Amino acid sequence: MMTSRSLAVVLTVATLMTDPGIAAAQPAAPPVAPGTAPASPDAAKRAEALVDKAKSLYLEGKYQEAEASLLVAWELNPTFDVAYNLGNTEYQLKKHREAAQYLSFALRHWPLLKGVAKLKPNAEKWLAESRAQVGSLKVSVTVAGAEVLVDGKAVGKAPLEDEVFVDPGEHRVEARHLDYEPASQTVSVAKGATAEVKLPMALAKSEAQVGQTAGGASGAGAGAGAPVAQQPPGAPIEPLPPPPKRSWMPVIALGAASAVGLGVGIGMTVASNNASADGHAQADAILKAGGGCPDAPAAYSQACSDLRSTASRVDTFGRAATVAYTASGVLAIAAVTYALWPRSGTKASGKVRVLPETQVGYGGIVMQGAW
At 156-195, the pLDDT tens digits run: 899 988 899 999 999 999 999 999 999 999 999 999 999 9
Question: 368 or 361, which is more confident?
Answer: 368
Same domain as 279, residue 326? yes
The torsion angle over the Cα atoms of residues 344, 350, 352 and 356, rounded to 10 degrees, is -150
Decide if 231 is inside a domain: no
CATH of the domain at 65: 1.25.40.10
Same domain as 91, residue 50? yes
Q: What is the rounded distance in angstroms from the CA atom of residue 278 to the CA atom of residue 121?
A: 112
Residue 234 has pLDDT above 70, yes or no: no
Residue 227 has pLDDT above 70, yes or no: no
Q: How many domains, in total, are found in the chain?
A: 3
Decide if 244 is inside a domain: no
Decide if 230 is inside a domain: no
Decide if 227 is inside a domain: no
pLDDT of residue 2: 39
pLDDT of residue 291: 61
Residue 92: closest CA among 108, 104, 103 = 103
At 275-314, the pLDDT tens digits run: 788 778 867 776 776 666 666 566 666 677 776 787 887 7
Same domain as 149, residue 116? no
Same domain as 164, residue 263? no
DSSP per-residue codes, 43-62: HHHHHHHHHHHHHHHHHTT-
At 304-333, the pLDDT tens digits run: 777 678 788 778 878 887 887 888 788 788
Contact 23, 2 (CB under 8 A): no
Same domain as 139, residue 121? no
Same domain as 185, residue 118? no
Q: Which domain covers residue 4, as residue numbers?
A: 1-131
pLDDT of residue 290: 65
Contact 189, 136 (CB under 8 A): yes
At 9-53, the pLDDT tens digits run: 444 443 333 333 322 233 334 555 555 667 788 888 998 999 999
Domain endpoint, select from 171, 206, 241: 206
Q: What is the rounded distance in angstroms from the CA atom of residue 101 to the CA atom of residue 167?
A: 12
pLDDT of residue 225: 43
Same domain as 292, residue 269? yes
Domain endpoint, select from 72, 104, 131: 131
Same domain as 358, residue 288? yes
Decide if 178 is inside a domain: yes
Same domain as 149, residue 69? no
At 70-114, the pLDDT tens digits run: 999 999 988 888 999 999 999 999 999 999 999 999 999 888 877
List Cβ neighbours of 201 (8 Å cut-off, separation of 6 or more).
141, 142, 143, 146, 175, 177, 180, 181, 182, 183
Q: What is the rounded distance in angstroms from the CA atom of residue 33 to the CA atom of residue 35?
A: 6
Task: Average the pLDDT over each of 189-193, 225-229, 340-344 and give the range with the smallest value.
Answer: 225-229
Decide if 20 is inside a domain: yes
Beta bridge partners of 166: 135
Decide if 221 is inside a domain: no
